[in-house]
Structure 1
């Protein structure tokens, strides 16, 4: 169906790359007015910057109907090698970046009366991938999963739905660099996948589009795995 998001004001963080870019493009194709945020426009882990960005969006549009928190940053390393600074930077880049955006957007989401928040957990929130040094990333994404369930409860009275998508391994600029560092990673991922291919941003964007639309009006507090079946066995 075309125009599934016609008339919706959608804010997508991390819109310049990867999954965020895929979501922003699909939302626009489905009729949404898309406001893309990325590091060039401000520091999404800085409280003042985030407040400024969302105040400007709210002043221009009067409401936010959809907030997609796709921006993220993580250090990947084994526990023996990871510094406390890297740990804290990862939690800021996985958790703070979501909290700050949602808190700043909350009055404008309430103004919608029928808003959807889409956060990104990960297959790593549910299982470890053998050979992948993702300790801090797993912790951050597990936090997003738990936080979103709480947001679903807090938002229900205001017409705000909150859900997570948990992607498996998706081919993006960042994951391609990760595979360059760990050449065996591709085969490890495919060994866990039921569907024998790696995901693409479009695979995730279709799910985000549904969650952003009124088709998912009865869905909140849910987590949807887009992972080729990796967490199903």
Structure 2
């Protein structure tokens, strides 16, 4: 019987040595600790792909960028509302690429983009294509959330939320498809939420939940519309993820954190890096026969 070899890629301190030899690197770097000859499936590699992420200056969008860099991406467009923030994050990602792999020269550009504006999204894609000539993987990560009762929800905030979460996802996906179809295809991932499938408690956020449900069905519809033209559209739906912002919020409301943990079967909140494998899978050739689907990374929340 053939022996099954598994590639273990884990975050280790810089001084850690693997069981089968030296495993030296920077803290948090993914390191191989397996026998010689074991290799990851090449279809999971992002090498040679041009990636674009909206809402990428911080939060989950930034983590998606790190995941792409860790998987071999060397051409990356970092889009965010404030150009200075996007550029700063692009420079941080270049540093991360060198720490992760000293031989990696990451070409990352920070681009201003207000996803609620069709013209702004069009200009951001034009800048990306001018820089890289193509775009292979696009992640619509920009989004906002407010907590108000349905009766008290301010109308201006309601409109802003839908402009960013729903219209922004649509504008991003459409510009991605316009660029991808002439080149033979590509992968688009819309970031929804477990809130597309359940009602969060105890916080009140009906418009947000509805916006993410819209994004989920939007992806299915676009996937069918563009399937024969080589553009795959899928959804990644995170559960409660401990971004820096959420950690700050929960530090002032420990009871809410306990409530969310108790409602999650795994008994904990997610870490942003828990999404890395899923986003790389959806944007790489590993999922080349997958479109119109959703991956939930929620610690089992939607299962109960």
User: CA 1:182/1:137 → structure 2, altered by over 3 Å: closer, same or farther?
Assistant: farther
**Conserved? CA contact 1:19–1:205, under 8 Å:** no
1:25 deviates by 0.8
Which structure has the larger Rg over C-alpha atoms? 2
1:16 is aligned to 57
**Conserved? CA contact 2:177–2:231, under 8 Å:** no
1:136 pairs with 2:232: no
RMSD: 1.6
Which range moved further: 31-40 or 140-149? 31-40
1:185 pairs with 2:256: yes
TM-score, with normalisation over the residues of structure 2? 0.73
**Conserved? CA contact 2:55–2:143, under 8 Å:** yes
2:48 is aligned to 7
Out of 166, 171, 176, the residue aligned to residue 105 of structure 1 is 176
1:65 is aligned to 136
1:36 pairs with 2:78: yes
Secondary structure, in 3 states, of the residue corresponding to 2:267? coil
**Conserved? CA contact 1:66–1:109, under 8 Å:** no
1:50-61 to structure 2, matched below 5 A, reads: 50-61=121-132
Secondary structure, in 3 states, of the residue corresponding to 1:150? helix
What is the distance in 2 between the residues matched to 1:109 and 1:198? 36
Secondary structure, in 3 states, of the residue corresponding to 2:276? helix
2:157 is aligned to 86
1:182 deviates by 4.5
- 1:100-150 deviations in whole A, cap 9, x for unaligned? 112222221213424111111111111112211211110110110010000
**Conserved? CA contact 1:45–1:92, under 8 Å:** yes
1:172 pairs with 2:243: yes
- 1:57-94 deviations in whole A, cap 9, x for unaligned? 12232221100011112222111221122111111121
1:181 deviates by 6.0
What is the distance in 2 between the residues matched to 1:181 and 1:17? 21
Give the unaligned 5+ runs of structure 2.
1-39, 83-111
**Conserved? CA contact 1:193–1:230, under 8 Å:** yes
**Conserved? CA contact 2:270–2:298, under 8 Å:** yes
Which range moved further: 38-47 or 152-161? 38-47
2:67 is aligned to 26
Greater relative contact order (CA < 8 Å, ≥ 6 in sequence) = 1
1:176 deviates by 2.7
What is the distance in 2 between the residues matched to 1:198 and 1:94? 23
What is the distance in 2 between the residues matched to 1:226 and 1:196? 14
Q: How many residues align?
A: 233
Give the unaligned 5+ runs of structure 1.
none
User: CA 1:225/1:66 → structure 2, altered by over 3 Å: closer, same or farther?
Assistant: same
TM-score, with normalisation over the residues of structure 1? 0.94
- 1:26-60 deviations in whole A, cap 9, x for unaligned? 10121112111011113221122111111121223
Secondary structure, in 3 states, of the residue corresponding to 2:78? strand
